[in-house]
Amino acid sequence: MTTASLLAVTLESIAVCFEGIIPSSISTCSADGTPNITNLSVVHCIDSRHVGLSYQFFNKTRQNIGQNPFVQVVVVSPANLHQYRLDLRYERTETEGPVFEKMKTRLDAVASQTGMSHIFKLRGVDVFEVLDCRPINAEAGGEALPKVDFLPQIEEFTDRLSACAGLESVINVSLDSLSALFGYDHSFLMIPDEDGKRLFTLGSHGFGESGIGSEVWIGEGILGIAAQRREVVRTTNFSRDVLYSNTVRSAVERGGDDSLLERQIALPGLPQVQSQLVVPLVAQDRLLAILCLQSATTGRFLSDDERVVRIAARQMAAAMALQERLESIKLQEIPRQPSTVVPTAVSTVKHYKADDSIFIDDAYLIKGIAGRIFWKLVQSYAQSGRVDFSNKEIRLDATLQLPDFKDNLEARLILLRRRLQDRCDFVRLAHMGRGHFRLEVNRQLALKEW
Amino acid sequence: MENENPTSIGEELRVFLEGPVSVLVGTRDSRLIPEITRAWGPRVADDRQRVSLCVPLATSYKTLDNLEANGEIAVAFSLPTNYRTIQLKGRLVATGEPDSMDLAAVERHRDAFAKVNEPLGQPREQIDAFWQAEIETSPVLVRILFVPRQVFDQTPGPGAGRSL
> CA separation (Å) from A391 to A23, A201, A405, A408, A434?
53, 21, 13, 11, 9
CB contact under 8 A, A35 and B157: no
Nearest chain B Cα to A118, which residue?
A: B158
Is residue A30 one of the residues assigned to a domain?
A: yes
The pLDDT value recorded for residue A250 is 33
Q: Which helix (H) or strand (E) holds A428?
A: strand A427-431
| Window from A30-34, A70-74, B130-134 with minimum mean pLDDT | B130-134
| Helix (H/G/I), strand (E/B), else coil: A77 | coil
Is residue A61 one of the residues assigned to a domain?
A: yes
User: Minimal Cα–Cα distance from B46 to chain A, Å?
Assistant: 26
| Helix (H/G/I), strand (E/B), else coil: A312 | helix
**C-alpha to C-alpha distance for A25 and A42, rounded to whole angstroms:** 9
Nearest chain A Cα to B56, which residue?
A: A137
**Contacts with A22 from chain B: Cβ below 8 Å:** 122
Of A111, A135, A159, which residue sits at a domain end?
Answer: A135
Strands A346-352 and A444-449: parallel
Asked if the model's pLDDT at residue A80 lies above 50, the reply is yes
CB contact under 8 A, A36 and B26: yes
Assess whether A157 and A91 both reside in one domain: no
Q: CB of A22 within 8 A of CB of B121?
A: no
CB contact under 8 A, A80 and B126: yes
Q: CB of A299 within 8 A of CB of A19?
A: yes
Domain containing residue B41: CATH number: 2.30.110.10
CB contact under 8 A, B24 and A119: no
B89-129: pLDDT as tens digits: 999 999 999 999 999 999 999 999 988 888 776 778 877 87
**C-alpha to C-alpha distance for B126 and B114, rounded to whole angstroms:** 9
User: Between A130 and B1, where is the model more confident?
Assistant: A130
Is residue B164 one of the residues assigned to a domain?
A: no
Q: What is the 3-state secondary structure (H, E, C) of B61-83?
A: HHHHHHHHHHCEEEEEEECCCCC
Question: What average pLDDT does the structure give for chain A?
Answer: 83
Q: How many domains does chain B have?
A: 1
**C-alpha to C-alpha distance for A169 and A157, rounded to whole angstroms:** 13
Is residue B74 less than 8 Å (CB to CB) from chain A? yes
Nearest chain A Cα to B139, which residue?
A: A137
**Contacts with A32 from chain B: Cβ below 8 Å:** 1-2
Q: Which of A429-438, B12-21, B154-163 has the highest mean pLDDT?
A: B12-21
Instruction: Give the orientation angle of helix A303-329 with respect to helix A151-162, to 10 degrees.
Output: 10
Asked if the model's pLDDT at residue A5 lies above 60, the reply is no
Top residue of B3, B23, B35, B153 to mutate, by most chain A CBs within 10 Å, is: B35
Domain containing residue A206: CATH number: 3.30.450.40
Assess whether A130 and A165 both reside in one domain: no
Q: CB of A270 within 8 A of CB of A136?
A: no
CB contact under 8 A, B76 and A87: no
Nearest chain B Cα to A239, which residue?
A: B120
Domain containing residue A418: CATH number: 1.10.10
| Window from A27-36, A384-393, B26-35 with minimum mean pLDDT | A384-393
Assess whether A63 and A171 both reside in one domain: no
Is residue B49 less than 8 Å (CB to CB) from chain A? no
Average pLDDT over residues A83-100: 93
Instruction: Outline where DSSP puts E strands in A212-285.
Output: 215-217, 233-235, 275-283
Of A135, A161, A190, which residue sits at a domain end?
Answer: A135
**C-alpha to C-alpha distance for A439 and A338, rounded to whole angstroms:** 11
The pLDDT value recorded for residue A142 is 52
| Window from A214-228, A233-247, A357-371, A418-432 with minimum mean pLDDT | A233-247
Assess whether A297 and A368 both reside in one domain: no
Average pLDDT over residues A266-281: 85
Average pLDDT over residues A295-299: 87
A212-260: pLDDT as tens digits: 888 888 888 888 889 998 989 888 887 777 666 666 543 233 334 444 4
CB contact under 8 A, A33 and B72: yes
Assess whether A45 and A187 both reside in one domain: no
Q: CB of A352 within 8 A of CB of A362?
A: no
CB contact under 8 A, B25 and A71: no
The pLDDT value recorded for residue A391 is 85
Assess whether A100 and A167 both reside in one domain: no
The pLDDT value recorded for residue B66 is 97
CA dihedral A320, A325, A329, A335 (to 10 degrees): 10
Assess whether A167 and A68 both reside in one domain: no
Segment 120-149 of chain B within 8 Å of chain A by CB: 120-122, 126-127, 129-130, 133-134, 136-137
User: Minimal Cα–Cα distance from A72 to chain B, Å?
Assistant: 6
**C-alpha to C-alpha distance for A329 and A312, rounded to whole angstroms:** 26
Is residue B139 one of the residues assigned to a domain?
A: yes
| Helix (H/G/I), strand (E/B), else coil: A172 | helix
User: Between B37 and A344, where is the model more confident?
Assistant: B37
Burial class (CB in 10 A: 0-12, 13-18, 19+), A418: buried
Domain ranges, residue B83: 11-151
Is residue B119 less than 8 Å (CB to CB) from chain A? no
Q: Which of B2, B129, B158 is facing A34, going by the closest CB pair?
A: B2
> CA separation (Å) from A425 to A64, A225, A369, A370?
66, 36, 22, 18
User: Minimal Cα–Cα distance from A79 to chain B, Å?
Assistant: 9
Assess whether A411 and A281 both reside in one domain: no
Is residue A91 one of the residues assigned to a domain?
A: yes
**Contacts with B36 from chain A: Cβ below 8 Å:** 25-27, 37, 72-74, 85
**Contacts with B57 from chain A: Cβ below 8 Å:** none
A359 φ/ψ sector (left φ>0, alpha ψ -120 to 50, else beta): beta
Burial class (CB in 10 A: 0-12, 13-18, 19+), A1: exposed
Is residue B6 one of the residues assigned to a domain?
A: no
If you count them, how many residues does chain A have? 450
Assess whether A155 and A126 both reside in one domain: no
Is residue B157 one of the residues assigned to a domain?
A: no
Instruction: Give the orientation angle of helix A409-423 with respect to helix A167-182, to 10 degrees.
Output: 70
User: Minimal Cα–Cα distance from A71 to chain B, Å?
Assistant: 6
Is residue B144 one of the residues assigned to a domain?
A: yes
Is residue B48 one of the residues assigned to a domain?
A: yes
**Which segments of chain B does DSSP mark as H helices, in order?**
11-17, 61-70, 100-117, 124-134
**C-alpha to C-alpha distance for B37 and A83, rounded to whole angstroms:** 10
Q: Which of A72, A73, A139 is facing B137, going by the closest CB pair?
A: A139
A99-157: pLDDT as tens digits: 898 888 888 887 777 766 666 778 899 999 999 999 887 555 555 556 678 899 999 99
Is residue A298 one of the residues assigned to a domain?
A: yes
**Contacts with B87 from chain A: Cβ below 8 Å:** 36-38
Average pLDDT over residues A44-52: 94
Assess whether A322 and A197 both reside in one domain: yes
Amino acid at A93: T
User: Minimal Cα–Cα distance from B59 to chain A, Å?
Assistant: 6
B60-85: pLDDT as tens digits: 999 999 999 999 999 999 998 888 89
**Which segments of A4-150 does DSSP mark as H helices, in order?**
60-67, 98-113
| Window from A166-170, A368-372, B136-140 with minimum mean pLDDT | B136-140
Domain containing residue A59: CATH number: 2.30.110.10
Is residue B36 less than 8 Å (CB to CB) from chain A? yes
Which letter does DSSP use for residue A280 in this model? E
CB contact under 8 A, B133 and A81: yes
pLDDT band at B11 (very low <50, low <70, confident <90, very high): very high
CB contact under 8 A, B129 and A37: no
Is residue A262 one of the residues assigned to a domain?
A: no
Domain ranges, residue A232: 151-245+267-329
The pLDDT value recorded for residue A7 is 83
Is residue B83 less than 8 Å (CB to CB) from chain A? yes
> CA separation (Å) from A40 to A356, B25, B156?
49, 14, 9
CB contact under 8 A, B161 and A298: no
Is residue A370 one of the residues assigned to a domain?
A: yes
pLDDT band at B135 (very low <50, low <70, confident <90, very high): confident
Asked if the model's pLDDT at residue A205 lies above 60, the reply is yes
Q: CB of A143 within 8 A of CB of A82?
A: yes
Is residue B25 less than 8 Å (CB to CB) from chain A? yes
Is residue A413 one of the residues assigned to a domain?
A: yes
If you count them, how many residues does chain B have? 164
